[in-house]
Structure 1
Amino acid sequence: MSSILVRAAQADDIDTIHGFILALAEYERLAHEVKADRDMLGRYLFGPRPMAEVLIAEADGSAVGFALFFHNFSTFEGRPGLYLEDLFVLPEARGRGAGKALLARLAALAIDRDCARLEWSVLDWNEPSIAFYRALGARAMDEWTVQRVDGQALVRLAALPS
């Protein structure tokens, strides 16, 4: 079994990142919702004002997983946090420690950056991932539900008088 190397993604990783996003969307049965393309990812991940960061997990020199994350802020804590938007490991690489290595690096980044917490969402049907997260000490925030405004609802909301 090879060791897992976790590194910060670079601009020349765009094709790899895009491939992981497509594979994740397929796994989550959401491939029809992917709008991200390479140009868009390049602009928002590596442009003049990056909006998110990516870690790449490698085994034997090949990318086997990724984590895309960004900072949020807790008003109650008065400190930043890290929000893990997506974590994905190729099916053939699962069980080799890549997911754990990505989460461990995110936890270390959160501590280094004086973040109060590391948070993410998981689909309620994804029992293998839920069990994996519980084994690492994650807890469900069952009293909270995710709310979203997008598409035309977002446009209508933005047009309301302020």
Structure 2
Amino acid sequence: MTSGLSFRVAEFEDLDEILLMLRLLAESLGVIGCFKCTRDDIEIAGFGPRREFTVMLAELEGKIAAICLYFPVFSTWMGKPGLYIQDLFVHKEFRCARVGEKLLRHVARIAGSSGYRYLRLTVNHGNLGGERFYIRHGFEPANDETSYQLHGIAFDNFCDSGK
């Protein structure tokens, strides 16, 4: 079923489809109420003068079957650059065709040929299918660390304090 599978970097014209796929991802994880990203956010950060991320698309049967949104990172522990996979989403109708695996492998090969030495990502709590997928492909949980974030009012307050 994946004989016609192709990959390409998303273009501005794909913006609405990217946003739709990100919404579908949030819905599938049961966190659509937390999804705040807008079309303008994607346009500015993904297609503006300072591109914050890249989106690789997998196309099959004339449709966008999957997206992988990623950006460069650097590990001081490894002393190497890598890519952080922010979002990987395969449309429901293409999930049994190994599209996610092939898209992730395509991004990994591009990363490797560009000098990046690792991939990093997080999996939402409760996304057991996602965990199994990544473990099956050689990813390991980072049991030696816990992710933290500072955002919204807490971020603003932190920035403003101590002035």
Query: Please, what TM-score do these two structures have when normalized by structure 1?
Result: 0.95
Q: Distance in 1 between matches of 2:87 and 2:143?
A: 20
The answer for the alignment partner of 2:116 in structure 1 is: 115
User: What is the percent sequence identity of the aligned residues?
Assistant: 31
Q: Distance in 2 between matches of 1:131 and 1:53?
A: 25
* Matched ranges for 1:128-147 at <5 A: 128-147=129-148
Higher deviation after alignment, 9-18 or 110-119: 110-119
Structure 1 unmatched ranges of 5 or more:
none
4+ aligned runs moved over 2 Å, structure 1: 76-79
The superposition leaves residues 39-61 of structure 1 with CA deviations (integer Å, 9 ceiling, x where unpaired) of 22111101111000001111111
Q: Distance in 1 between matches of 2:130 and 2:2?
A: 22
Whether 2:107 is the aligned partner of 1:106: answer: yes
Q: Distance in 2 between matches of 1:75 and 1:129?
A: 27
3-state secondary structure, aligned to 1:95: helix
* Matched ranges for 1:64-79 at <5 A: 64-79=65-80
* Matched ranges for 1:27-106 at <5 A: 27-106=28-107
Deviation at 1:2, TM superposition (A): 3.4
- Indicate if the aligned counterparts of 2:81 and 2:115 stay in contact, CA closer than 8 A: yes
- Indicate if the aligned counterparts of 1:44 and 1:50 stay in contact, CA closer than 8 A: yes
Q: Distance in 1 between matches of 2:25 and 2:137?
A: 21
Aligned-residue CA RMSD (Å)? 1.3
Deviation at 1:161, TM superposition (A): 2.4
- Aligned residues, how many? 162
Q: Distance in 1 between matches of 2:109 and 2:142?
A: 22
- Indicate if the aligned counterparts of 1:6 and 1:101 stay in contact, CA closer than 8 A: no
Counterpart amino acid of 1:68? Answer: L
- Indicate if the aligned counterparts of 1:77 and 1:116 stay in contact, CA closer than 8 A: no
Q: Distance in 2 between matches of 1:126 and 1:79?
A: 29
Counterpart amino acid of 2:14? Answer: D
3-state secondary structure, aligned to 1:93: helix
The answer for the alignment partner of 1:2 in structure 2 is: 2
Q: Distance in 1 between matches of 2:110 and 2:33?
A: 33
Whether 2:27 is the aligned partner of 1:26: answer: yes
Counterpart amino acid of 2:146? Answer: T
